[in-house]
Amino acid sequence: MVNQTRQIYFMAKYIFVTGGVTSSLGKGIIAASLAKLLQARGFKVTIQKFDPYINIDPGTLNPYEHGECFVTEDGAETDLDLGHYERFLNIFTSQSNNVTTGRIYQTVINKERAGAFLGKTVQVVPHITDEIKRRMQLLGKSGEYDIVITELGGTVGDIESLPFIEAVRQLQWELPDEDVVVVHLTLVPFLKAAKELKTKPTQHSVKMLSETGVHPDVIVCRTEEPLSNDIKRKIALFCNVKQEAVIEALDASTIYEVPLMMLREKLDLFCLKKLNIKEFNEPKLDKWKVFLDKLKYPKAKVTIGLIGKYIELQDAYKSILESFIHAGAMNEVKVQVINIHSEFITDDNVAEKLEGLDGLLVAPGFGSRGIEGKIIAVKYAREQGLPFFGICLGMQMAVIEFARNVLNLKDAHSTEMDTNTSNPVIDLMEEQKKIKMMGGTMRLGSYPCEIKENTLAHTIYNKTLISERHRHRYEFNNDYLEAYEKAGMIASGKNPETGLVEIVELPNHPFFIGVQYHPELKSTVEEPAPLFVHFIAAAKKYNETKSALISSLLQRSEE
Ligand code: GLN
């Protein structure tokens, strides 16, 4: 029998993931792993993240504050967890998948200014919570998904999380019981001195959540040590859930192991049972398992230098680091990434700083701090034949280095760092010149790029038309293009409509490529970014040649 109400109002079922005790427990990874399992069982799944901060989006946040800003196809600047969702699920997310308190308030305030509340006092409950609920169900009502997973940012007990928790409470009440699951992630710490796992923080956190009216159906316990049956029973008893709803989430050697761990713990099966879904397939995870095998048992190692200015914080380059993991597995090598602070690279120490590397990646970034160090590092890679890969700002640095040291334009620069340079080889895009507001106004999202045949870019992509995601204001200044190409740096990729240079490369170098876009944003477990795959292959070759040279030198000295 078709349930009319369900058809009209509730197109999808909802899983909410909340977090307790502390931040950084890996809520995003648990949500993505559950989504992966449901997808592998044949469901159409998407994940969204609701962030309680007041910024409209993380686009204006310093990476030290918030880690990387992930950009979606439609140009939304979003939380880095969306990157995990895309990498795990091999799907595209969009602006609708990431909502902040700021965005909720902006909508409500705009409505108030438009007079849409008809003289009513506008309040957190019901107006803000109604807007949260509307957005929580937006993707679910699109008819595209069977299951929508919503990750709530922050930790239960935070003041700013309250309206989101209240929205979940109301939805739990409004929607049929079998349409909602609440998964709560907590920590079960191991006290070394007592040699014991402690359940009290979990009990407190569930109690705090229950006081807001939301009762979790499943408790996922992050732990360093396996949970015994006794511990599970204790958590179940005191937190008022079935024992099978207490899920162990042991620390994993890689985040990509987590879906299989959750499968063993039957997290997906418990959720399906609560959602009253009785028909599903055995999970198809063959590709995932092949990837994991290659990741865990590499045949060789390459060392890549990542030159950036936010290297103290790993989250600042999240997608780049994950892309290396995907590309490493594809090449069956372990990619060891050495973080090198660009601020401390000088002409005198560059050889020493980059010693032992098999490849160099100059990272994206903004502002002038650490710029000269990046340029020195590019020069070293260009002259030494070291595989080089520049992303966004990294590509711009390669362009500046070439101008200064090959074209002999000594003061060449980007107008981002020096507005008075007489050789602005990197300049502000025309449409950027009139922009005053900084939020959401960069060249953002997916743009096409036409690739020249018989180039490195063509070998890498094996296509003449690609599409990649952008996040920048400055670009290659085409007034200089002829001089560059005559001197040996070619533009192998351009935007077909505007002629903006998107890829530069040096044909007379073993592997030297810079891209204005961010290929790391589209790398997934199932489809690693081709640029990363080829860069790692070039680094592997460089390493093999280096090793062969060393052993032949050793052999000669022994003779
Ligand atoms: N700051 C540079 C620009 O805006 C590069 C940006 C980036 O690396 N994402 O063009």
What phi, psi does 101 have (nearest 5°)? -55, -40
Which amino acid, one-letter code, is at 278?
K
Q: Which pLDDT belongs to residue 458?
A: 98
- At 3, the pLDDT band (50, 70, 90 cuts) reads very low
CA of 523 to the centre of ligand 1 (A): 20
Q: Which pLDDT belongs to residue 5?
A: 42
For range 315-322, the mean pLDDT = 94
Q: Which pLDDT belongs to residue 8?
A: 42
Q: Which tokens go with 513?
A: 């490529």
- At 4, the pLDDT band (50, 70, 90 cuts) reads very low
- At 292, the pLDDT band (50, 70, 90 cuts) reads very high
CA of 179 to the centre of ligand 1 (A): 43
| 452-470 tens-digit pLDDT | 999 999 999 999 999 999 9
Comparing 474 with 9, the larger pLDDT belongs to: 474
Comparing 299 with 550, the larger pLDDT belongs to: 299
- At 325, the pLDDT band (50, 70, 90 cuts) reads very high
For residue 69, indicate whether it is catalytic: no
- 416 Cβ closer than 6 Å to some ligand 1 atom: yes
Q: Which of 339, 338, 335 is nearest to 308 (CA)?
A: 339
- 147 Cβ closer than 6 Å to some ligand 1 atom: no
Q: Which pLDDT belongs to residue 9?
A: 43
Reply yes or no: is the peptide bond before residue 216 cis, omega within 30 of 0.
no
- Which is the catalytic residue, given 392, 502, 505, 509? 392
DSSP per-residue letters across 390-429: EETHHHHHHHHHHHHHTS--TT-EETTT-TT-S-EEEEE-
For range 509-523, the mean pLDDT = 98
CA of 530 to the centre of ligand 1 (A): 22
For residue 271, indicate whether it is catalytic: no
Nearest CA to ligand 1 atom 1: 366
Instruction: Quickly list H helices, 285-417.
Output: 286-296, 318-331, 350-353, 371-384, 393-405
- 366 Cβ closer than 6 Å to some ligand 1 atom: yes
Q: Which of 53, 304, 297, 29 is nearest to 163 (CA)?
A: 53
Which amino acid, one-letter code, is at 552?
S
Question: According to the 3-state scheme, what is the secondary structure of 256-281?
Answer: HHHHHHHHHCCHHHHHHHHCCCCCCC
313 pLDDT higher than 90: no
Share of the chain above pLDDT 70, in %: 98
- Could you give the CA distance from residue 111 to residue 129 in angstroms, rounded to a whole number? 14
193 pLDDT higher than 80: yes
Atom of ligand 1 nearest to the CA of 391: 8
For residue 449, indicate whether it is catalytic: no
- Could you give the CA distance from residue 66 to residue 317 in angstroms, rounded to a whole number? 11
Share of the chain above pLDDT 90, in %: 87
User: Positive or negative, the Cα torsion across 302, 307, 313, 315?
Assistant: negative
CA of 395 to the centre of ligand 1 (A): 9
| 419-444 tens-digit pLDDT | 999 999 999 988 888 888 888 889 99
Alpha carbon distances (Å) from 279 to 171, 217, 276, 286, 405: 25, 21, 9, 21, 65
| 479-490 tens-digit pLDDT | 999 999 999 999
Nearest CA to ligand 1 atom 5: 393
Comparing 311 with 116, the larger pLDDT belongs to: 116
Atom of ligand 1 nearest to the CA of 392: 8
Residue from 389, 391, 392, 425 whose mutation best tests the ligand 1 pocket (most atoms within 8 A of CB): 392
Residues 6+ apart with CB under 8 A from 328: 295, 298, 302, 334, 335, 536
356 pLDDT higher than 60: yes
Containing H/E element for 363?
none
Q: What is the mean pLDDT of the chain?
A: 94
- Which is the catalytic residue, given 77, 265, 505, 520? 520
| 148-157 tens-digit pLDDT | 999 999 999 9
**How many CA atoms, within 13 angstroms, populate the side-chain half-sphere of residue 112?**
14
Comparing 283 with 431, the larger pLDDT belongs to: 283
Is 61 in contact with 46 (CB distance < 8 Å)? no
CA of 417 to the centre of ligand 1 (A): 11
Q: Which pLDDT belongs to residue 6?
A: 41
CA of 221 to the centre of ligand 1 (A): 40
Q: Which pLDDT belongs to residue 64?
A: 75
Residues 6+ apart with CB under 8 A from 524: 86, 87, 88, 89, 90, 326
Is 319 in contact with 531 (CB distance < 8 Å)? no
